[in-house]
Amino acid sequence: MNNRVNPNLPKELKEFGIRDWNDCYHCGTCTAICPLTAQGLLFPRKEIRLMQMGLKDQLSTCVEPWLCYYCGECSETCPRNANPGELMMSLRRYLTSIYDWTGLSKKFYTSKVWELAFIILFAILVVLAFLFVLPPLDTTLTAEGGVKVNSFAPIAIIEYFDWAMAFIVAGLLISNILRMYYRVVWMGTSKGVGILVHLREFWQLIFNFVVQPKFSKCDDKSYWLYHWLLMSGYTIMFILIVVFLPWFQTEKIHPAWHLQRSLGYYATIGLLIGLTAAIIGRWKKQQIKFQFSHVSDWLFLIMLTLTVITGILIHIFRVNGLPLATYICYIAHMAILVPMILIEVPFSKWSHLAYRPFAVYFARLQNSAMTQTN
Amino acid sequence: MEFKPTIVAFLCNWCSYTGADLAGTSRMKYKPNIRVIRVMCSGRVDPTFVYKSFREGADGVLICGCHPGDCHYQEGNYKCLRRFKLMKKYITQMGIEPERLHLEWISASEGKQFAELVDSMTERIKELGPSQVKQVAETLAI
Amino acid sequence: MEEPRIGVYICWCGTNIAKMVDVEQVTEQVSKLPHVVVSKNYKYMCSDPGQELIACDIQEHKLNRIVVAACSPRIHELTFRRALEKAGLNAYLFEMANIREQDSWVHDNREEATRKAIELVAASISRVKYHEPLDKRSVTINPATLVIGGGVAGMSAALEVANAGREVYLVEKSDRLGGLVNHLDLTYPYLYDAGSMLETLLRRTLNHPHIKVFCDTTVEKVDGFIGNFTTTILTENQQPVTLTFGNIIVSTGLKPFDASRVGEYGYGRLPDVLTSVEFEDMLRSGQILTRSGKPPQNIAIIHCVGSRNTEFHEYCSRTCCQVALKFANQIRTLLPDSNIFDLYADMRAFGKGCEELYTETSRKNITFMMFDQQKEMPQIIRSIDPADPHMLIFFREKISGLGLEVPADLIILMVGMEAHEDVKDVAHAVGISVCGNQFFIEKHPKLDPVATTTAGVYIVGNCQGPKGIPDAISQAKAAAARVLATINQGSVFVEVTTAQVNEAICCGCQTCILVCPYSAIHFDQNKRVSVVNEVLCKGCGTCGSTCPTGAIRSKHFTDQQILSQIAGLMEMTLKIN
């Protein structure tokens, strides 16, 4: 690890939204007030110190930013208004770019032009694919009066495309998680951790992904609920469209209580509640966690909202037998969804869905390595 | 019963008494066996003061003055030092253990040193046990 | 001698005494002693009602001796003496027992502390029986003043006294006035120009009709006492001049710490390691350059050089942190793209405007890092990699606990201040003392910070302890006010605890004449006895303990008084045992 103090790193970090890191004079109030501080975890103070001195290698081995759920108490009690919570948020962006080997993450976080250009490029590609690659529009209805959505967007092609996208995204994400593993567990403990420990602690990963218990430790429990509704809605919807597409995308219109529709409704409502809470929060800026919104925060919310809205519209038009409107919304839905998944999940804000539970897992590995040495 | 020695201390006003006050303002803790008598200069410590203390039952006598070269009256502490050497000889001849009389330089800033001195002197006197001077003098009626 | 009627008063000092000493028990025990008429305790004896209590009892019970057991006599002896005078009793018919600084504050066993208090009060009661009324002596004040040391503090004091129309002799050891401020570029925290400030002060001092400046001159020895000092100095052209003056203001200042004593920093060995004093000179030249003539890219500032380290000086020099912050600001202005590293042991930006300066500076992209001044001092080494800046600082950063390295082209050592080599000579010349850090000792660190235990001698500025310019000037003006007050009064009362010869029993051996440090005793050839000059005698009592016949009495510290104190003490000790 490089031990040289580097005042240029803080300048670099500024591009990720970090501001006034020098205001902190290390009184430790943030560490004391944080409901998530545990023995051996001195965050957010430790990371601020490393940032102030520009110690890039040491920062990149830190798992702590992912363990912070930004309740904002540290920022509220900070006597110098150094805003440690926001510093941790910015660090998560920085770490995402460190884990990413393609370099795109850094481009998206530090340049609005790059991010918008990528979104627009993929949106155009999707629209073009529908217009030129897929079969021509068929605006007639089926015998039962349903919209012929499967002939407009044949299951086989869409499913093939879904799986391809899922593999690309998963491949990128897994390679980045391996890089995270190398830094946090390998470099962070300066030696490996036994395979048994890996297996013993593995349930932490699943448990934290599904329940997000750490988030619920923040004093305001409502955000844990909003976030959980959003996360579960998103996950259900993701599984429905990738794994169960033939079952989910049918021309037959099932009754409203049918599992296909009720799962879809749950996911939609979950997403809407979560999104509304986040948008209102970021708009009103009453909580400290919502006061400083980075471009990537808004972009993510807007794209997801648009995805949900177009998804709802597809459903309404399909149920009411309006083929053309359904198809237009379908194209719009895909034109937003595809760039969102491709950019947000491996390179930007949504990568946290993987990094956060893995961070808890890696922290456990780190901890067991440390206790072994002692 | 536990032996609680009594040590009579003569402290010069300018250095040592101020140093002892400093130990107090700094809330240092030391043994409660010392009884301080203030004099203007360690040069004022008349041998009779020392002998009187022993005669009346003191188990030890401590004299403190300014460090050499720092005397408020230029050289009173040197006079004290010379007199001290004679007093040591004298009390030895009288059958008093010479360790019962002690001289130390304590400056106005040496509160800590004063506290440590009191503790170490108390320990030393405890080891020597009670002074027999008063008893012997009364038996001999002198 | 009249029958002693003693009043004894035990002070609680709030809880300071009362929580460790059972004041009720002390009051009761000593009330049984002979001659004690009144024995009382009260919350704060030094307060107005406390003093009133004594005054009333003096009237009511016809008391003629008073003992107060409270704090150190160094703090309130004068207060109570004045109270006695107001009640019509001679001030010297009073004795104080120190049961706070030397009892309640230093012990943690209540029973033992109470016992000690009883014995000390008994000793005082036994002593006060033999106290005698003494008269005060008035001396006239020579209206001239001697100021030793011509830095900003000395000049400010001199101007303040001279502006009141009084003569001032300003003696400076070096060849010019101004002291340390001569080296300064800007002053913290408001970044005023030190040069123009000093220029004004210099012009006023040198042109003042009532100030006589002697440069290249030292004061070797001062004779006399408050109001009547004399000294002989050698001027620049070796002319002896005798000066007479009534008061002395000492403002001899401090000097920068010698940085080469800290081996880790390589000062003197490495060309681009500078002291803060040298860097001030560089700033005054307007350009920051390394020895090779290039502007540095990486500049490191190291705090606490020679300060707050038991190997060198344990004290904090108080100004260096703020000067370092000032440097960081100035470097940022002159070299906007440079990397500035600030290695501190503790950031002590206390005082008006200074914390604000720190906050402001910390927003200028300066990397602040903390090191352990006691255990692990930073090490400066030459870099071997030609791609690096030519020096590297290795240190353990205290907050993160990491061993780090800092590249540097220029390193500034924030040297502390320390006493001049000849500080003891000055102390002896004017009759004051120095503390363990070689700073002059004030009469009382809180209640009387510019006076000394020698009447008529005041200490101001850095020589009393390291401080910034505003503090030094405040002290200078405070001392000037004290001096002007005594000059205005025209005379002061001085203690008369001098020696006195009982001619009837003086055998004429003249031993006292040999031991007197002030040559205050001479031999009367006619009467064949020693005679004390009370004006010259300072009351040390050395003659009294030398006199073989007991002919010399040290007033207020007579053999009888002290022997009685010992007897009273031991009697009570044995009684309790």
Residue by residue, pLDDT tens for chain C (577 residues) are 689 999 999 999 999 999 999 999 999 999 999 999 999 999 999 999 999 999 999 999 999 999 999 999 988 999 999 999 999 999 999 999 999 999 999 999 999 999 999 999 999 999 999 999 998 888 899 999 999 999 999 999 999 999 999 999 999 999 999 999 999 999 999 999 999 999 999 999 999 999 999 999 999 989 888 999 999 998 888 889 999 999 999 999 999 999 999 989 999 999 999 999 999 999 999 999 999 999 999 999 999 999 999 899 999 999 999 999 999 999 999 999 999 999 999 999 998 999 999 989 988 889 999 999 888 899 999 988 888 888 999 999 998 889 999 999 999 999 999 999 999 899 989 988 888 899 998 888 888 899 998 889 999 999 999 999 999 999 999 999 999 999 999 998 887 889 999 999 999 999 999 999 888 899 999 999 999 988 788 899 999 999 999 999 999 999 999 999 999 999 999 998 8
d(CA C8, CA C124) in angstroms, rounded, equals 10
Report the gap between the CA of A224 and the closest CA in chain C (Å): 32
Note whether B touches C: 3 CB pairs or more under 8 A: yes
Statement to judge: residues A146 and A169 lie in one domain: yes
Q: Which of A80, A99, A118 is the last residue of a domain?
A: A99
Is the bond preceding A44 in cis, omega lying within 30 degrees of 0? yes
Of residues C106, C112, C566, nearest to B56 (C-beta) = C566
From chain B, pick out residues whose CB is under 8 angstroms from the CB of C112.
32
CB contact under 8 A, C559 and B39: no
- In 3-state terms chain B splits into helix, strand, coil percentages (rounded to 5) of 50, 15, 35
Of residues A4, A5, A49, nearest to C399 (C-beta) = A49
Q: Flag whether B97 is in a domain.
A: yes
d(CA A230, CA A223) in angstroms, rounded, equals 10
Q: Percentage of chain C with pLDDT > 70? A: 100
CB contact under 8 A, A7 and C339: yes
Residues A277-288: tens digit of each pLDDT? 999 989 988 887
Tally the domains of chain A. Answer: 2
Assess whether pLDDT exceeds 60 at residue A374.
no
Q: Give the angle subtended at the CA of C299 by the CAs of C181 and A84, to the nearest 5°.
A: 105
Torsion angles phi and psi, residue C171, rounded to 5: -105, 125
Residue B17: give the domain boundaries: 7-139
Residues B43-70: tens digit of each pLDDT? 999 999 999 999 999 999 999 999 987 8
Q: Flag whether A188 is in a domain.
A: yes
Q: Flag whether A357 is in a domain.
A: yes
Statement to judge: residues A70 and A207 lie in one domain: no
In this prediction, residue A43 carries a pLDDT of 76
Q: Flag whether A336 is in a domain.
A: yes
Q: Percentage of chain A with pLDDT > 70? A: 98
Q: Flag whether A302 is in a domain.
A: yes
In this prediction, residue A68 carries a pLDDT of 87
In this prediction, residue A40 carries a pLDDT of 66
pLDDT band at residue A314 under the 50/70/90 scheme: very high
d(CA C149, CA C479) in angstroms, rounded, equals 14
Q: Flag whether A255 is in a domain.
A: yes
Residues A58-114: tens digit of each pLDDT? 999 888 899 888 888 888 898 888 888 888 888 999 999 999 999 999 988 888 899
Statement to judge: residues A175 and A210 lie in one domain: yes
Within B32-134, strands assigned E span: 34-39, 60-65, 101-105
pLDDT band at residue A132 under the 50/70/90 scheme: confident
Q: Which residues of A116-142 are buried (b: 16+ CB within 10 A; e: fewer)?
A: eebbeebbeebeebbeeeeeeeeeeeb
Q: Flag whether A242 is in a domain.
A: yes
Residue C540 sits at the chain B interface (C-beta within 8 Å): yes
CB C121 within 8 A of CB C7: no
d(CA A299, CA C175) in angstroms, rounded, equals 72
Residues C27-39: tens digit of each pLDDT? 999 999 999 999 9
Statement to judge: residues A225 and A355 lie in one domain: yes
From chain C, pick out residues whose CB is under 8 angstroms from the CB of B38.
73
In this prediction, residue A287 carries a pLDDT of 81
Assess whether pLDDT exceeds 60 at residue A144.
yes
Statement to judge: residues A25 and A146 lie in one domain: no
Q: Flag whether A77 is in a domain.
A: yes
Q: Which of A57, A80, A99 is the last residue of a domain?
A: A99
ipTM over 0.95: yes
Other Cβ atoms less than 10 A from the Cβ of C130: the count is: 18
Q: Flag whether A311 is in a domain.
A: yes
Average pLDDT, chain A: 87
Assess whether pLDDT exceeds 90 at residue B122.
yes
d(CA C337, CA A60) in angstroms, rounded, equals 26
Q: Flag whether B58 is in a domain.
A: yes
Tally the domains of chain B. Answer: 1
In this prediction, residue C69 carries a pLDDT of 97
pLDDT band at residue A39 under the 50/70/90 scheme: low
Q: Flag whether B124 is in a domain.
A: yes
Residue A124: give the domain boundaries: 104-373
Q: Which of B29, B41, B54, B119 should be substituted to probe chain C, the one whose Cβ sees the most C Cβ atoms within 10 Å? A: B41
pLDDT band at residue A370 under the 50/70/90 scheme: confident
With a CB-CB cutoff of 8 Å, which residues 40-99 of chain B face chain C? 40-41, 43-49, 52-53, 56-58, 66, 69-70, 72-76, 79, 83
More confident residue, C370 or A368: C370
Statement to judge: residues A83 and A125 lie in one domain: no
Looking at residue B35, which CATH number applies to its domain? 3.40.50
In this prediction, residue A156 carries a pLDDT of 86
Residue B25 sits at the chain C interface (C-beta within 8 Å): yes
Q: Flag whether B21 is in a domain.
A: yes
Statement to judge: residues A84 and A111 lie in one domain: no
Statement to judge: residues A63 and A192 lie in one domain: no
Domains of chain C (ranges plus CATH)?
6-135+556-576 (3.40.50), 145-254+419-492 (3.50.50.60), 257-417 (3.50.50.60), 498-554 (3.30.70.20)
CB contact under 8 A, B8 and C540: no
CB B26 within 8 A of CB C104: no
Q: Flag whether B45 is in a domain.
A: yes
Q: Flag whether B93 is in a domain.
A: yes
Q: Flag whether B98 is in a domain.
A: yes
From chain B, pick out residues whose CB is under 8 angstroms from the CB of C562.
37, 39, 46, 49
Statement to judge: residues A126 and A172 lie in one domain: yes
| Of C367, C321, C317, residue with least CA distance to C342 | C367
Residue that the structure tokens 């930013």 belong to: A65
In this prediction, residue A288 carries a pLDDT of 79
Report the gap between the CA of A193 and the closest CA in chain C (Å): 23
Residues C115-151: tens digit of each pLDDT? 999 999 999 999 999 999 998 888 899 999 999 999 9
In this prediction, residue A14 carries a pLDDT of 83
